[in-house]
Amino acid sequence: MSDTLSPQIRFGSNAGQPATRRDGLAKVTGVATFAADNTPEGLLYAVYAPAKIARGRVSHLDVAAAEAHPGVTHVITPQNRPELQGDPSAKPTMFSFRTEVLQDDTVCYAGQPIALVLGETLEAATEGARLLAPQYVADPVRVALDDNLATSFEPAGFGLPGGASHGDVEAGHAAATRSIDVSYETAAQYHNAMETHAIVAQWDGDRLTLDTPSQALNLSCAGFAYFFGIPPENVTLRSPYIGGGFGSKAIPTGPQVLAILAARMTQRPVKLMFTRQQMFGPVGHRGATRQRLRLGVDENTALTVIDHEGLAETSTFDDFVEPAANASQDLYAAGALRASHRLVRLDVGTPGPMRGPGEASGSAALECAMDEMAEVAGMDPLEFRLRNYAETQPGTGLPYSSKALRECYAEGAARFGWEGRPLEPRQMQGADGLLTGWGMGTALFPCPMFAAEARATLRPDGTALFETSAVDMGQGAWTVLAQIAADSLGLTLDQVEFRAGHSALPDGGVAGGSGHTATAGGALHAAGGDVLRQLGELATEDPQSPLYGAGNSSLVARDGWLLLEEDESRRERFADILIRAGQTEMTGTGHGGRAPEAAGRHAMNSHGAVFAEVKVDPDLCQVRVTRLVGAFAAGRIINPRLTESQLMGGMIWGTSFALHEAARHDRRSGRIVNADFAGYHVPVNADVSGLEVITVHEDDPYVNALGIKGVGEIGIVGTVGAIGNAIWHATGKRVRHFPIRIADLLAP
Amino acid sequence: MSLFISLTLNGEARDVSIDDPRVTLLDLLRERLALPGTKKGCDRGQCGACTVLVNGRRANACLMLAAGLDGAQITTIEGLARGEDLHPVQAAFIEHDGFQCGYCTPGQIMSAVGLIAEGDAGSDPERIREGMSGNICRCGAYHGITLAVQEASRRMAAKEEGDAA
């Protein structure tokens, strides 16, 4: 038995290259198939009727009118809904909430499904749903944090953030020579991926085929299977392309379950596509928060305490915490820290993770509070942050696996031209008469890993097939994971066939938490390594091989050859090794994930620094973000082109958080009054200019075998605060809620 | 009820039966004519995902009733490439990474083709941003979209000059 260490895997041939998207051609020609693009023979269309009150019950539905409409085939209400085999209040997987599937006539939030109409055409089903003309018995609604504050509670339970603390918080407050006590609010936001949630469900006996976008294919299979009493392996879920997820497509939703139920009931394929308005309801959202931040510094402007209390909304029927105070846990060296969360039950759909959950909202408040503290201390905001730079993880003293934040500050500030920024606000007015302001914020996002599996098959022609049920929702998995896979066997990108987005493949895990590339990539890397290990064993144990007798660990793979590292003249082609061993192909498997002991040895985060310039019209108070420079350190960058896109996208989300997005409720009905793209603003192209991204080099030997930290979410973190701070610097007005709108600046 | 219209769809003459007067051009393309490349993002003209060219001009297919389009020339994303040859806008979107998830992309590309044909934006980034602002990209690929439209616009203008010379 030879040395069983895997041959070394080389990086640099594919990883690090700015390859264009492998799915690019499909996407620009319109042949990339999204879920609702499927129109199987015999299709029925499903449209659900959403509740137009937020609390109470449905007292009447005009089912007869709907059924009488030509083309309507079925109307499903709580009265006649076929039985489900799974309890919708249960949580069959780690990513599930109580699911609203017409259990009864109770309404818990506006937009909750109250009936499902099936029709031969979309037009018929749509009109049928309208004809239901629901009547309600409405109860008073609670849709703002203050509406139910008295019953707020500390969340407890599986998966809910418990908060954190270290040091003596009261002593920290007492030791402060200067302090601030401020409260920031963030609005409820809805993911609004461009592709609304959609599903095409088809049954064949007790086997189910689904076309539906999913950020976690195999988990979704288990979630859906549960409701229908079938084993998860009976569900085939196809999700080759996802039209944006942002956290909203990891969790099966009620309408999707109802569509599957309708398909089983009718024994016909059923398509259900959410309307844009329906994206404000049963698919999760970023819950509104109110955050109190109390910071104190001593005479040396060192933080004595960070005391961050987060209050967030959840629904009346499930718990999800927007863990905003998490943002304060790992970032600055303070003598004492308390990060805590409370929840308020409101008549809204259950919130859920939305791009940068916790950190986005929490950093918005923390970074503005840091700016306020710097102002009180009379210190430049960047200098203040450097003064309180955490060299090790606050509280635990653990070393960081890597942390190039200081370099992010330096490179970002240099590129932006931060030096010479006046401390006082309202000091910069351009020739155009606009007030100019500069602000900055620090970005941090943790580097979680989930679990993923992958399979690699080396073929006799020297090409390889890599398989995992990974998902590309725009972040670039089709390309980046293929790059990692190719490197694992020393092949070029075009020698690799990569299959993903299908539940029959090895479980690719969850695309979320900025952990997909590291996790699924880790599995692919390991699968390739497994093939090399086997090849190496065959070769080094075979007297006919030029590699006979060599130690497996001294082998490397390149261009279809296995080579001895110290003497590259000793080498053999993959294909020759296979043929001599009488094998037509060779399969390896790999697992991606993080060993628990590794997580205990280092604190692991991506970091960044964002610098913003805003221009504010002194009379109209219109705010424009004119420059946004983000410098990020996120471990190994597999594809600089796609990474820049991810980070820019995140920074645009930050701009959106700071200036645009807010769901507004009607205080009487509880309905969201701006539930469409006319009323719920997200940035358009004209809102975005002067965007620059710098990626700071970082080698991280501890975070995972690939050194990848993830870039999906960190772009939004830091940006919100930077913009808020720039607005203060331009105007002298400290607005303590997001989004910041013209009216806030017009107010005296 | 049944109603027939004649369309020139991606260069091909088509007689199309409209089964319901409520059918929009978008649902005609997607659900009835097997052309799902055109995407539905809001169904009320607020996002631009369904942008197609109607008689050479940009239009939101979700806002047009199919029954009113007798005699129209419609170009969708499926009709843009010439066989293997991508339209310059399509090629530039790949090169400049003018998309992430790809869902708004057909609309963005059709809108860019329309914008370039309108001739008002040229390669001025400010005008391009303004002219492309009817197309929402939630992933935030705007930087790449602007660069892509700029480059395609330049390339097409250069080709036109070359052709004219």
Identify from A25, A194, A516, A645 which residue to disrupt to test chain B contact, counting B C-beta atoms within 10 A and taking the largest count.
A194
A363 in a structural domain: no
Q: Which of A32, A36, A689 sits opposite B102 (nearest CB)?
A: A32
Contacts of B29 in chain A (CB under 8 A): none
A326 and A211 within one domain: yes
A4 pLDDT above the threshold of 50: no
Whether A73 and chain B come into contact, CB under 8 Å, resolves to no
A488 and A465 within one domain: yes
3-class DSSP assignment, residue B117 = helix
Distances (CA, A) of A621 to A223, A236, A272, A423: 48, 53, 43, 21
A96 pLDDT above the threshold of 50: yes
Whether A255 and chain B come into contact, CB under 8 Å, resolves to no
**Confidence class for position A614, pLDDT limits 50, 70, 90:** very high
The set of residues, in sequence order, having a beta carbon less than 8 Å from that of B22 and lying 6+ positions away, is A123, A127, B65
Output the pLDDT for position A675: 98
A306 pLDDT above the threshold of 50: yes
DSSP, res A711? -
**Confidence class for position A9, pLDDT limits 50, 70, 90:** low
**Confidence class for position A553, pLDDT limits 50, 70, 90:** confident
What pLDDT digit, counting tens, does each position of A406-434 carry?
A: 999 999 999 999 999 999 999 999 889 99
Output the pLDDT for position A161: 76
Chain A, 461 to 480: residues with Cβ < 8 Å from chain B are: 472-476
Q: Hey, what domains does chain B have and what are their CATH numbers?
A: 3-79 (3.10.20.30), 88-164 (1.10.150.120)
Distance CA(B141)–CA(B94), nearest Å, equals 12
Q: Which CATH number fits the domain that encloses residue A709? A: 3.30.365.10
Min distance B41 CA to chain A CA atoms (Å): 6
Q: Which CATH number fits the domain that encloses residue A182? A: 3.90.1170.50
A320 and A256 within one domain: yes
A14 in a structural domain: no
Chain B, 111 to 140: residues with Cβ < 8 Å from chain A are: 125-126, 128-130, 132-140
Q: Which of A474, A475, A676 sits opposite B46 (nearest CB)?
A: A676
Identify from B135, B138, B149 which residue to disrupt to test chain A contact, counting A C-beta atoms within 10 A and taking the largest count.
B138
A647 and A732 within one domain: yes
The set of residues, in sequence order, having a beta carbon less than 8 Å from that of A267 and lying 6+ positions away, is A203
Output the pLDDT for position A298: 98
Peptide bond into A739 cis (omega under 30): yes
A107 and A249 within one domain: yes
Whether the Cβ atoms of residue A103 and residue A243 lie closer than 8 Å to each other: no
A234 in a structural domain: yes
Contacts of A648 in chain B (CB under 8 A): 140-141, 143
* Widest distance between CA atoms in chain B: 54
Q: Which of A20, A472, A685 sits opposite B94 (nearest CB)?
A: A20
Residue A722: which H helix or E strand, with range? Answer: helix A719-731
Q: What share of chain B in percent tops pLDDT 70?
A: 99
What pLDDT digit, counting tens, does each position of A258-290 carry?
A: 999 999 999 999 999 999 999 999 999 999 999
A385 and A460 within one domain: no
Pick the residue with more confidence: A468 or A251?
Answer: A468
Contacts of A642 in chain B (CB under 8 A): 97
Among A593, A621, A646, the domain boundary falls at A593
Query: Is A713 annotated as catalytic?
Result: yes
Among A574, A593, A612, the domain boundary falls at A593
Which residue segment(s) compose the domain that A255 sits in?
33-357
A720 and A643 within one domain: yes
What pLDDT digit, counting tens, does each position of B94-116 carry?
A: 999 999 999 999 999 999 999 99
Count how many domains chain A has.
3
Distances (CA, A) of A114 to A120, A138, A139, A256, A267: 20, 14, 17, 14, 22
A58 in a structural domain: yes
Among A543, A562, A593, the domain boundary falls at A593
Verify whether the Cβ–Cβ distance B128 to A273 is below 8 Å.
Answer: no
A167: left (phi > 0), else alpha (psi -120 to 50), else beta? left
Q: Which of A359, A367, A411, A713 is catalytic?
A: A713
Output the pLDDT for position A5: 43
Q: What is the gyration radius of the CA atoms in chain A, in angstroms?
A: 27
The set of residues, in sequence order, having a beta carbon less than 8 Å from that of B36 and lying 6+ positions away, is A30, A33, A34, A36, A37, A39, B29, B30
Q: What is the ipTM of this complex?
A: 0.98
**Confidence class for position A1, pLDDT limits 50, 70, 90:** very low
- What tokens does B44 get? 């009320």
A610 and A502 within one domain: no
Output the pLDDT for position A11: 52
What pLDDT digit, counting tens, does each position of A149-202 carry?
A: 999 999 987 667 778 899 999 999 999 999 999 999 999 999 999 999 999 999
A120 and A47 within one domain: yes
Window from A9-13, A456-460, A609-613, A723-727 with minimum mean pLDDT = A9-13
A20 in a structural domain: no
The set of residues, in sequence order, having a beta carbon less than 8 Å from that of A548 and lying 6+ positions away, is A539, A540, A541, A542
Pick the residue with more confidence: A98 or A630?
Answer: A630
**Which residue has 């020579």 as its token pair?**
A177
Whether the Cβ atoms of residue A356 and residue A713 lie closer than 8 Å to each other: yes
Distances (CA, A) of A431 to A457, A616, B65: 64, 13, 49
A337 and A266 within one domain: yes
A478 and A550 within one domain: yes
A248 pLDDT above the threshold of 60: yes
Distance CA(A634)–CA(A428), nearest Å, equals 34
Whether A37 and chain B come into contact, CB under 8 Å, resolves to yes
Q: Which of A31, A121, A649 sits opposite B139 (nearest CB)?
A: A649
Residue A558: which H helix or E strand, with range? Answer: strand A555-558
Verify whether the Cβ–Cβ distance B103 to A243 is below 8 Å.
Answer: yes
Question: Number of residue pairs across A and B with CB atoms under 8 Å?
Answer: 186
A207 in a structural domain: yes
| DSSP code per residue over B26-54 | HHIIIIISS-TTS--SSSSSSS-TTEEEE
Residue B151: which H helix or E strand, with range? Answer: helix B142-164
Min distance A155 CA to chain B CA atoms (Å): 32
CB-neighbour burial class of residue A567 (10 A; exposed 0-12, middle 13-18, buried 19+): exposed
Residue A201: which H helix or E strand, with range? Answer: strand A198-204
A585 in a structural domain: yes
Whether B103 and chain A come into contact, CB under 8 Å, resolves to yes
Distance CA(A512)–CA(A630), nearest Å, equals 22
Q: What is the mean pLDDT of residues A88-103?
A: 84
Verify whether the Cβ–Cβ distance A34 to B39 is below 8 Å.
Answer: yes
A132 in a structural domain: yes
Q: What is the mean pLDDT of residues A689-700?
A: 96
Min distance B118 CA to chain A CA atoms (Å): 18
A347 and A396 within one domain: no
A382 pLDDT above the threshold of 80: yes
Output the pLDDT for position A465: 98
